[in-house]
């Protein structure tokens, strides 16, 4: 059965700064260590990647893999989530989740709309749990955004609102950086 929902709210920053924070993968394991203590790129082909996130659970290291696709300038799709190792008991054996996140300027152009569409394919006997899954996904999104906004706000206070120059030097890594610079390099 198919369950869809959206989560839409404003982020108090520019689209360029929001996209830069998203593509700045080096902060995932540190600023977001509570959610992604280990994050590894397994396969990479242009704007498509297979990544693995892992957590230490007692003596075991467990996690999940998923595919992400970046559609420049500001769209991020994630799907095909599987437990890692594959035999690990997981809800991802039972349901499929696809997330589609877009950033775009709000009506007045001073903030960024974070627009997340989620599609869940779920067996009928898990249908009663769909809202629980939804709440968990929404909670994760809001909490991670709050951490990112704290970083963005601090940077804005130091370097100026929307200033992304620190991401542009050749030594600074961003996912899909050439696409980012093409679209936001002059921002």
Partner 1 sequence: MALFGKTRESRAPVRTIEAGGLSDGTLTLTLAQIDPLAVNVVKVDDSRSLAIVVMPDGAYSAFNLQCPHLGANLADGAFCTKDGTLRCPWHGYEFELGEGRFIRNPNVETLAKARVKGANFDPDKAIDYRLRLYPATANGGQLVVELN
Distance CA 93, CA 89 (A): 8
77 counts as binding partner 1 under rule CB under 8 A: no
Q: In this structure, what token pair is assigned to residue 113? A: 């709309």
Query: Following DSSP, what letter does each residue of 122-179 receive, concatenated?
Result: --GGGGGGHHHHHHHHHHHHHHHHHHHHHHHHHHHHHH-TT--GGG-STT---TTHHH
Task: Give the one residue of 44, 61, 131, 136 binding partner 1; rule: CB under 8 A.
Answer: 44
Binding residues for partner 1, rule CB under 8 A, total 34
Contact 181, 73 (CB under 8 A): no
- Give me the 149-178 binding string for partner 1, x by CB under 8 A, dash otherwise: --x--xx--xx------x-xxxxxxxx-xx
Provide, rounded to whole angstroms, the least separation between the CB of residue 87 and partner 1: 23
List of residues contacting partner 1 (CB under 8 A) = 24-27, 29-31, 38-44, 49, 151, 154-155, 158-159, 166, 168-175, 177-178, 180-181, 185
């Amino acid at each position: 059965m198919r369950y869809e929902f959206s989560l839409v709210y404003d982020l108090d920053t520019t689209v360029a700064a929001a996209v830069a924070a998203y593509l700045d993968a080096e902060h995932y394991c540190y600023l977001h260590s509570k959610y992604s203590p280990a994050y590894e790129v397994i396969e990479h082909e242009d704007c498509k990647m297979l990544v693995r996130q892992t957590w230490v659970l007692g003596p075991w290291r467990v996690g999940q893999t998923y595919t992400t696709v970046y559609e420049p300038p500001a769209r991020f799709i994630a799907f095909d989530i599987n437990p890692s190792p594959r035999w690990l008991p997981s809800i991802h054996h039972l349901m499929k989740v696809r997330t589609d996140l877009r950033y775009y300027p709000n009506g007045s152009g001073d903030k960024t709309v974070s627009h997340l569409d989620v599609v869940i394919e779920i067996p009928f006997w898990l249908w009663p749990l769909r809202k629980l899954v939804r709440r968990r996904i929404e909670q994760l999104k809001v909490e991670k955004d709050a951490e990112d906004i704290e970083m963005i706000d601090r940077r804005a206070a130091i370097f100026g609102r929307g200033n992304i120059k620190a991401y542009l030097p050749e030594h600074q890594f961003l996912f899909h950086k050439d696409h980012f610079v093409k679209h936001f390099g002059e921002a």
